[in-house]
Structure 1
Amino acid sequence: MFKPTALRAMQPTRMMFMRQSAPMYMRQTARMMKPVPKEEQSAHGVSQRLRQLKKIPAELIPLGTFPPLVAVFAAVFSLGRKLVVDKTLRLKRQSGN
């Protein structure tokens, strides 16, 4: 009679069914045919940057202007309110010191 362990030793292992991967070769990258383009923002003057604003769609301009204006108004309002309402705030030097 055969032992089950002896039969198992005769079966091919999983390692035998695995195929080898292709060898990896080290090679240089292909040479670039044209020079690397310059960045759009490099060495631009103020007038050139203002011309870039024409590319912004008109619908987006209120989104870029309204929130900062609201933030500036809120800051000025809260500062003005603090100066008027807060009685413990010293606005002048104390005399006699």
Structure 2
Amino acid sequence: MLRTRVLAMQPTAFMRMQPTAAMRIQPSAVMRMQPTARMMRPVPKEEHSAHTISQRIRQLKKVPPELIPLGIVLAVAIFAAGFSSVRKFYTDKTLRLSRQHGSE
């Protein structure tokens, strides 16, 4: 009885673990983390820190011309959404803008 128990606890050739694909991957070299040369220098001051309004308006000339049509389309869309919302609030009599009194 003791002998069969000992034999039962020994692993067979079928039960031995085979290395998986993940185990066969070689570890990569340790990466040294260090700041870039740009970050070692002091942070430059913000370019808009003490500008007047006229100086800020002149900065708009730096906007790429490809973005101007996008800005126009967004402005029209925001205006149309605001106009339709306000119009709906004023013309729709079935729209409930506040709680009904008496029902809680």
Q: TM-score range by the shorter chain?
A: 0.3 to 0.5
For the pair shown, the structure with the greater C-alpha radius of gyration is: 1
Q: What's the TM-score once normalised by structure 1's chain length?
A: 0.46
